[in-house]
């Protein structure tokens, strides 16, 4: 109910804004039954943008860069 006015602002702006998607509750953990909920696409975008701004996803970026950095040393 609280999300509805926010979500409706993106109708016609973001394609498929109200389609469902999976969202991790804890961004440090993998997708699992215990760590996943169903949310609308615009909720997913809003939460992930907030997580990025707060640095919550920095570990994901860092871990994805490690193999590339190690390849350059060879």
pLDDT in tens, 9-56: 999 999 988 899 999 999 888 899 999 999 999 999 999 999 999 988
Whole-number Å distance between alpha carbons of 56 and 7: 23
What confidence category does residue 69 fall into, taking pLDDT thresholds of 50, 70 and 90? low
Mark 12-48 as b/e (b = at least 16 C-beta within 10 Å): eeeeebeeeeebbeebeeeeeeeeeeebbbbbbebbe
**Shortest CA distance to 58 belongs to which of 46, 67, 68, 66?**
66
DSSP state of 35: T
User: Which architecture characterizes domain 2-64 according to CATH?
Assistant: Orthogonal Bundle (1.10)
Whole-number Å distance between alpha carbons of 33 and 68: 31
């Amino acid at each position: 109910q609280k999300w509805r006015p926010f979500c409706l602002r993106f109708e016609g702006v973001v394609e498929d804004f109200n389609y469902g998607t999976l969202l991790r509750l804890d961004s440090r953990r993998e997708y699992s039954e215990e760590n996943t909920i169903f949310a609308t696409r615009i909720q997913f975008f809003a939460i992930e943008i907030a997580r990025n701004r707060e640095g919550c996803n920095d570990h994901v970026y860092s871990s994805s860069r490690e193999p590339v950095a190690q390849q350059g040393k060879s």
